[in-house]
Amino acid sequence: MQRKTIQELTEAAKVSAIQAGYRKTGITNFSYTWNKLKVYAAEKGITHYSHGLGVDFLREHYGIIAFNGLTGHQHSRARAIELLNDVQNSGYVVSRRTKTGYVFPEVFQSVITEYIGTRENAEIVSRSIQTTKLYLVRFSDYLTAQGIKALSEVDMPVIEGFIRSLTVYGKPTINHTLRSVRGLMKYAYDAGFITADKSGLVPHVHYNRRARIPSAYTAEEISRLLATVDRNHPVGKRDHALLLLAARLGLRAGDICGLTFENIKWEENSIVIFQQKTQNMLALPLTEEVGMALVDYLKHGRPATECQCVLVKHVQPYDALNPSSTYTIVSRYFEKSGIPMPGGKKRGPHALRHSLASALLENGVPLPVISEVLGHTNTKATGVYLKIDIENLRKCAISVPFYAEKGKAVASYVED
């Protein structure tokens, strides 16, 4: 593919970002980074953009080596370069934002809508369907950008070009994206939208999901993280409760945000939810530490609101937090704590979940029990924690608090 000049590419990226619905403030931040890139390239006598140039610029100008564990400032700079790579590879900006309302190009709308309908009829969980929609939006947007007006026009070069546009993603995302595309192409043939089965054109991306070693922190590091929270401030009280729900109970970000008053069984000292990811019920002990943090927030920190979710935003209209906000909150405290985080180590709420699992494993808790605590549908998902180095596991031990007569203090909030 012919390389564009940096000026041409940044102009095309700006137009495409506007079309993709990026906010004006975001595009302004991207433009700031692009202007810095132009100066950097001019000093080196470079006029045409390449992926290598972008990598060198991020490393030398912002100290960014990997796209994992970035600060908010670094993420914005890296994202600006990713947009240039998108446009260089595929001709348009690839959307990375999950949409609530998906609009497919008109020429592909009928077949994609019918295909999604078959998955809904098969009672695929809602979250999986939403993800499939996102992947097919990217695929159909790519086809439109390439001038493709029917699935019958899709051939191997088109598929190869689409795969190149996905290089900014990890192997799991690429695998799931291509699986969605294969499913669509197979359905299009079976339903008579196209006369040839082109699903075979879409390759399989092989990766070992369980080969990834989870990011886990020691008990001392978790305590250090919690100690950075200002619990005298209303927002700090909320954040303290949020961190504990992830670190002590292992709740996922979506389940933390969706936690309602009905989920907290004060009299029974338990939290009972239907997990957003699996739709399975999960019952966990409401430990004294977690319970008292929730009481402190509800009594002395939570703003008055009709929202039924326990943890809310502290700006009007005081509605529920969203999962992306929990990552920002947890990441901010990790950064503030000064806990060492080598390249690639995660620092969001899922890392706290991993830390709990690793600690339970070191304490001799059997995998089936850990699987129950984490709400996994099978122990294979839990077995990944066995890959963490045993010496690191020895540093992760925490006492697993079981409660007895602790519920009375917590339940007293209900009587106030």
Number of domain units in the chain: 3
CATH assignment of the domain containing 142 = 1.10.150.130
pLDDT score of 378: 56
Positions marked catalytic: 252, 277, 350, 353, 376, 385
**Co-location of 298 and 378 in the same domain:** yes
**Co-location of 341 and 248 in the same domain:** yes
| Residue 296 lies inside a defined structural domain of this protein | yes
In whole angstroms, what is the distance from residue 348 CA to residue 370 CA?
20
**Co-location of 340 and 411 in the same domain:** yes
Other Cβ atoms closer than 10 A to 82? 20
Ranking 115-124, 204-213, 214-223 by mean pLDDT, the lowest is 204-213
**Co-location of 234 and 328 in the same domain:** yes
| Residue 335 lies inside a defined structural domain of this protein | yes
From the list 129, 160, 124, the residue with the least C-alpha distance to 142 is 160
Structure tokens at 272: 């009972």
**Co-location of 270 and 397 in the same domain:** yes
CATH assignment of the domain containing 305 = 1.10.443.10
Average pLDDT (251-271) is: 89
Record the pTM. Answer: 0.50
Model pLDDT for residues 86-124, shown as the tens digit of each residue: 787 667 766 544 445 677 888 999 999 999 999 888 878
**Co-location of 84 and 34 in the same domain:** yes
Domain of 175, in residue numbers? 106-207
In whole angstroms, what is the distance from residue 87 CA to residue 83 CA?
6
pLDDT score of 250: 84
Average pLDDT (343-365) is: 72
| Residue 98 lies inside a defined structural domain of this protein | no
In whole angstroms, what is the distance from residue 36 CA to residue 161 CA?
29
**Co-location of 292 and 381 in the same domain:** yes
| Residue 267 lies inside a defined structural domain of this protein | yes
pLDDT at residue 211 tops 90: no
What is residue 221's three-state secondary structure?
helix
Phi, psi torsion values for 12, nearest 5 degrees: -65, -40
Ranking 33-47, 62-76, 382-396 by mean pLDDT, the lowest is 382-396
In whole angstroms, what is the distance from residue 314 CA to residue 301 CA?
9
Report yes or no: 63 and 55 within 8 Å, Cβ to Cβ. Answer: no
**In angstroms, how far is CA 237 from the centroid of its own chain?**
24
Model pLDDT for residues 306-353, shown as the tens digit of each residue: 999 999 999 988 999 888 788 889 888 988 888 887 656 777 888 888
Report yes or no: 248 and 287 within 8 Å, Cβ to Cβ. Answer: yes
In whole angstroms, what is the distance from residue 281 CA to residue 406 CA?
24
pLDDT at residue 19 tops 80: no
Query: Measured between alpha carbons, how far is residue 23 from residues 19, 30, 121, 234, 362 in Å?
Result: 10, 11, 36, 30, 46
| Residue 212 lies inside a defined structural domain of this protein | no
pLDDT score of 182: 94
Model pLDDT for residues 113-158, shown as the tens digit of each residue: 999 999 888 878 777 888 899 899 889 988 988 889 999 999 998 9
**Co-location of 244 and 329 in the same domain:** yes
Identity of the residue numbered 306: E
pLDDT score of 409: 38
Other Cβ atoms closer than 10 A to 26? 15
Model pLDDT for residues 64-85, shown as the tens digit of each residue: 765 555 666 777 888 888 888 7
**Co-location of 241 and 202 in the same domain:** no
Q: What strand order describes the sheet that includes 281-285?
A: 264-265, 270-274, 281-285
| Residue 336 lies inside a defined structural domain of this protein | yes
Pairing of strands 281-285, 270-274: antiparallel
pLDDT at residue 15 tops 90: no
**Co-location of 115 and 183 in the same domain:** yes
In whole angstroms, what is the distance from residue 327 CA to residue 388 CA?
23
pLDDT score of 410: 38
**Co-location of 60 and 112 in the same domain:** no
Q: Across 279-402, where does the E strand assignment appear?
A: 281-285
pLDDT band at 376 (very low <50, low <70, confident <90, very high): low
In whole angstroms, what is the distance from residue 365 CA to residue 360 CA?
5
Dihedral (CA of 338, 343, 347, 350) sign:
negative
Mean of the per-residue pLDDT values of the chain: 79
